[in-house]
């Protein structure tokens, strides 16, 4: 038998059970254990009745002494005991491996039983239950891409009943990310996108549209049958002023992620149904571009906007009479001189977020902003801008506003001493700095 060395400190190599079993089978099939003959000459001659004493003594004298024979037997016995011990260790490990395989067998059997029960139960599920399940299967994104590997298309590929139910659920087909920039996507836009949108059956649509300027005709052709359904639309790239003149009577949310001057001038043509507006990118809008006479501002409840300086925001805010949430993005460069303004009071704004595009510091912008604000109903403030935090101006803002501020979040480091002072002013205030709760 091959000796098997067991080393306690040797490195353990992880192998699949099938490899270990295969290796053992190969060793046993290709190897024949050698069991040495432990008989000695004395053991054969001592008890031979036909051998006289003088013959026995002759044999003993010729071969070896009795002591030598005993020593040899002891060595053979020790070797056999060592091999038996090694074999016991190997058998214990094999038994452990067998136990693991049996447990794996039981888990697989249990899983098969559960899935067989599920597969037999799913066809009997009421349609209403499957509809709820399908809703939870949708991708967790506002604008899912059209993919056969994702719901809702994936649901139509399971079985005929699932396809009927999924196609008949308009709520599954209300959101879509459209990309017509490549030839492949242009071909898809002519049929697949249109088929998807038809399944919405008149429900409000939320769309994200990626295109190049040369794709304007294709995008217009795609949107034309669904003008009255579009309630939310996002333009992540390219100029969009051509589409702002479209008749979208149900539009409530508009986002332009990379705004240009022509886009800003087209805001005046937006429908009065708009409630949420996001304008980002570039160096921000100035007050002239924002068209202060535009009645659209008064309809907004949510505004995310890049402006050229704090002055523009302070001039724009009073026009947004119904605004409850605002995100202000300051540009990488700012005007050093800004005219003085009386504090702008806005009684409906409850959430304000302030950030800056790049790591360029203009401390006076933040001071100017807080000195020009009075927000008596502000509950949440998030600050993620570069530069020095205007501590004194912010304290004055809190005192002037006398607002029920509930949460103050810093996206960047803030001084603990400052946060303690704010909590002293508003004991119930919750302050977070980079997800670390301070109070």
pLDDT digits (tens, 9 = 90+) for 51-87: 454 555 555 455 557 778 788 888 888 888 888 888 8
Cα-based distances in Å from 120 to 116, 117, 156, 158, 254: 6, 5, 19, 14, 46
Q: What is the longest distance spanned by two Cα atoms in the chain?
A: 137
pLDDT of residue 376: 97
Compute CA distances 1 → 27, 83, 86, 88, 163, whole Å.
11, 8, 11, 14, 64
pLDDT at 189: 55
Residue ranges covered by each domain of the chain: 17-121, 321-439
Q: Which two tokens stand for residue 432?
A: 């977070």
Tell me the three state secondary structure of residue 290.
Answer: coil
- Tell me: cis bond preceding 292? Omega within 30 of 0 counts: no
The CA distance from 300 to 322, in Å, is 6
CA angle (49, 53, 59) in 5-degree steps = 95
Query: What residues form DSSP beta bridges with 253?
Result: 232, 276
Q: Which of 306, 423, 298 is nearest to 348 (CA)?
A: 298
- What whole-number distance in Å separates Cα of residue 322 and Cα of residue 301? 5
**136, 142, 148, 153: CA torsion to nearest 10:** 50
Query: Could you tell me which residues come within 8 angstroms of residue 415 by beta carbon, excluding any fewer than 6 positions away?
Result: 389, 391
- Hey, which bits of 94-236 come out as E strands? 175-179, 205-210, 230-235
Token match 């050093």: residue?
Answer: 336
Reference 390, options 360, 376, 410; nearest CA is 410
Six-digit token pair at 67? Answer: 């002591």
Which segments of the chain have a pLDDT < 50? 1-10, 42, 44-51, 53, 60, 359-361, 436-439
Cα–Cα distance list, 299 to 241, 292, 302, 375, 438 (Å): 20, 13, 9, 19, 37
What single-letter DSSP state applies at residue 226? Answer: G
d(CA 48, CA 247): 121
Cα 434 from Cα 439, distance rounded (Å): 13
Count CA atoms within 13 Å of residue 265 on its CB side. 5
Tens digit of each residue's pLDDT (9 = 90 or more) over 261-296: 666 667 777 888 999 999 887 677 776 666 666 788
CB neighbour class for 391 (10 Å; exposed up to 12, middle 13-18, buried from 19) = middle
The CA distance from 10 to 13, in Å, is 9
pLDDT score at 210: 87
Task: Please list, in sequence order, all residues whose beta carbon lies within 8 angstroms of the beta carbon of residue 28, skipping any fewer than 6 positions away.
Answer: none
The owner of tokens 């794996």 is 104
The token pair that represents 93 in the structure block: 């490990």
């Amino acid at each position: 038998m091959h000796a098997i060395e067991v080393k306690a400190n040797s490195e353990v190599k992880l192998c699949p059970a099938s490899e270990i079993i295969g290796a053992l089978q190969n060793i046993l099939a290709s190897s024949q254990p050698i069991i040495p003959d432990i008989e000695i000459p004395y053991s054969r001659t001592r008890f031979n009745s036909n051998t006289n004493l003088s013959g026995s003594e002759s044999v003993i004298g010729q071969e070896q002494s009795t002591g030598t024979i005993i020593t040899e037997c002891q060595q053979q016995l020790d070797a056999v005991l060592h091999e038996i011990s090694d074999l016991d260790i190997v058998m214990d490990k094999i038994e452990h491996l067998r136990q693991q395989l049996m447990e794996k067998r039981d888990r697989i059997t249990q899983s098969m039983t559960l899935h067989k029960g599920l597969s037999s139960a799913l066809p009997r599920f009421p349609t209403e239950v499957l509809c709820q399940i399908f809703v939870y299967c949708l991708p967790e994104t506002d604008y899912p891409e059209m993919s056969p590997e994702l719901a809702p298309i994936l649901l139509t590929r399971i079985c005929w009943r699932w396809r009927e139910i999924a196609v008949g659920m308009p709520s599954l087909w209300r959101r879509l990310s459209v990309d017509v920039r490549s030839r492949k996507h242009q071909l898809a836009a002519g049929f697949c996108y249109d088929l998807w949108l038809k399944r919405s059956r008149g429900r409000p649509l939320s769309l994200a549209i990626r295109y190049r300027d040369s794709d304007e005709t294709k995008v217009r052709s795609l949107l034309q049958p669904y003008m009255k359904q579009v309630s939310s639309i996002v333009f992540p790239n390219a100029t969009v002023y051509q589409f702002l003149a479209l008749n979208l009577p149900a539009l409530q949310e508009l986002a332009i992620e990379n705004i240009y001057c022509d886009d800003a001038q087209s805001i005046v043509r937006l429908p009065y149904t708009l409630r949420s507006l996001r304008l980002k990118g570039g160096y921000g809008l100035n007050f002239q571009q924002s068209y202060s006479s535009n009645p659209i501002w008064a309809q907004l409840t949510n505004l995310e906007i890049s402006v050229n300086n704090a002055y523009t925001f302070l001039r724009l805010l009073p026009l947004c009479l119904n605004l409850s949430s605002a995100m202000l993005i300051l540009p990488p460069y700012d005007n050093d001189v800004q005219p003085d303004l009386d504090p702008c009071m806005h009684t409906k704004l409850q959430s304000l977020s302030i950030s800056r595009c790049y790591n360029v510091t203009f401390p006076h912008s933040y001071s100017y902003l807080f000195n020009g604000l009075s927000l008596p109903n502000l509950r949440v403030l998030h600050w993620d801008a570069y530069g020095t935090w205007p501590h004194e101006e912010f304290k004055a803002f809190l005192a002037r506003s006398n607002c029920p501020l509930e949460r103050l979040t810093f996206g960047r480091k803030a001084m603990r001493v400052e946060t303690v002072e704010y909590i002293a002013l508003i004991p119930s205030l919750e302050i977070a700095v980079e997800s670390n709760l301070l109070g």
